[in-house]
Structure 1
Amino acid sequence: MNILYKALILLILFVGIMSCGSSRKALEEALAQAKKDSIALAKLKEKSADKLEQVKIAPIQRKYAVVMGVEAQTINIPLFKFIDKWIETPYKMGGETKSGIDCSFFAQYLFHDVYGNLIERTAQKQFDAPSTSKFLGQKYLVEGDLLFFNLEGSEFMPITHVGVYLGNGRFVHSTARRAANGKNGVQISNLKSQHWQKLFVAAGRKPNPIRNIEN
């Protein structure tokens, strides 16, 4: 029995004692209403607690919100848990393990584990696949879009690199290019940088990736 319910009962009893004309029936009705109000209040508290639980920020969200420059609650937990397992894994042409991984296998592995979608093995095949809807407008990018690059930034040259767009101008990839920390491999880069803009060929969207599984 909560404090509000107890207070209501005491008030009703006091009024009943002080009022000579008060009936037993009126007192019982008032007590029943007080009980209903108490139950309603308890349910409201439960809902409020559930909402507070939902807005709790996971450590992985807090960590990558800083890297991404976004609000923590917008971080896709399964996606960034996957990235966190692979971050700074060295780059290796043809590599498919934690000792070394290349760009296309990293993209393939990410799509399989995070989005439940098995895509092609090489960057060129990912680019050429009929299921890849290609576009140039970077303002239309959404999480999970593939980003294709080559040394000339030309669609008429072979695709030599691929990454996965994350949002807010950032993408994740495995690259031989060294990051600010001096390490190559799996890293989050800024698509808007002069280097990546020069190499950018096109974006590609695969059909119906499963996004934000735990958010």
Structure 2
Amino acid sequence: MKNSILYCLAAASMVLSFFFDSSTARSAASAVPAPQEASFISTLLSGSEEPRLLTASDSVAYNKAAHQLGIEATYTADQSLLETVVSWLGTPYRYGSNSKSGTDCSGFVTRVFKEAYGITLQRSSRSMFSSVKHVQKDEMQTGDLVFFRRGPGQPIYHVGIYLKDGKFVHSATNGGVMVSSLNQAYYSRNFYAAGRVEH
């Protein structure tokens, strides 16, 4: 008797399992797959003025990235640059290095430009400054380089990549790759110049 009950329970379990598996497979086949976060910008930024309609999952991924960058991203933003910058966020600071296990400011900038545009920049921030087209602060565009020094006559010691709305991304000694504001007292005081890499 005891064995009969166990056999019945096992058979019922198999039947329920069959129905559950087939209904899950049907709903999975009809569902629209969610985009992977690593490629969400490719699907959201079309490079034209007109945005395409976003699904709910697209909007979540898009808003998450905009939040990470601290900017209101637009559909005309540079797709390659944004994809590359997002992938580097949180990388720790390491002097003299330029990998995702650790990078300094100029190492970060050189890697981003190589990955996003295939452009090889000079390795030091001072060398970069001498090889860019200088632009006024109020004319900066996404992708321009921003340079810092600690007062008149002092050498350039830091470089980052301008995003928009006064925000730039850089590898800081006290936090690694992050987005900061040019309006923060420290960066406002030490901002020296902006430059455009012609490509």
Using structure 2 for the length normalisation, give the TM-score: 0.65
SS at match of 1:73: coil
The residue that corresponds to 1:151 in the other structure is 150
The answer on whether the counterparts of 1:62 and 1:72 sit within 8 Å (CA) in structure 2 is: no
For 2:134, the equivalent position in structure 1 comes to 134
Instruction: Give the drift of 1:171.
Output: 0.5
Q: 1:30 matched to which residue of 2?
A: none
Q: In the alignment, which residue of structure 2 is the partner of 1:168?
A: 165
| 1:54 Cα deviation from its structure 2 partner | 3.0
Alpha-carbon distance between aligned partners in 2 of 1:141 and 1:82, rounded to the nearest angstrom: 20
8 Å contact kept, 1:68–1:168: no
**Is 2:192 the partner of 1:201?**
yes
Q: Identify the residue that residue 91 of structure 1 maps to in structure 2.
A: 93
Residue in structure 1 matched with residue 43 of structure 2 by the alignment: none
Q: Decide whether aligned partners of structure 1 residues 71 and 81 sit closer, same or farther in structure 2, where only a CA change above 3 A counts.
A: closer
Gapped regions of structure 2 (runs ≥ 5): 1-49
Question: Aligned residue for 1:62?
Answer: 63
Amino acid paired to 2:104: D
Q: 1:53 to 1:80 in 2, by over 3 A?
A: closer
| Residues 69 and 166 (structure 1), Cα distance of their counterparts in 2 relative to 1, 3 Å cut | closer
1:113 is matched with: 115
Deviations 1:57-78 (A, max 9, x none): 5655322323434155355443
Per-residue deviation at 1:102? Answer: 0.5
Q: What residue is the counterpart of 1:123 in the other structure?
A: 125
Residues 71 and 164 of structure 1: CA distance in aligned 2, closer, same or farther (over 3 Å):
closer
Once the two structures are aligned, what percentage of the paired residues are identical?
32
Letter aligned with residue 182 of structure 2: L
Q: What's 2:34 paired with?
A: none
Task: Say which one has the larger Rg.
Answer: 1
Give the superposition deviation at 1:134. 1.5
Relative contact order (C-alpha < 8 Å, sep 6+): which is higher?
Answer: 1
**Contact residue 123 and residue 162 of structure 1 kept, 8 A:** yes
Q: Distance in 2 between matches of 1:79 and 1:59?
A: 20
C-alpha separation between the residues in 1 aligned to 2:184 and 2:51?
A: 38
TM-score for the superposition, normalised by structure 1: 0.61
Aligned amino acid, residue 156 of structure 2: I
How many pairs are equivalent?
146
CA shift, 1:100, in A, is 1.2
* Separation of aligned partners in 2, 1:107 and 1:54: 31
Contact 1:103 1:174 in 2 (8 A): yes
Secondary structure of 2:156 counterpart: coil
**Secondary structure of 1:93's partner?**
coil
Deviation at 1:143, TM superposition (A): 0.6
**Aligned-residue CA RMSD (Å):** 2.2
Instruction: State the secondary structure of the residue aligned to 1:85.
Output: helix
Distance 2:169 2:189 in 1: 17
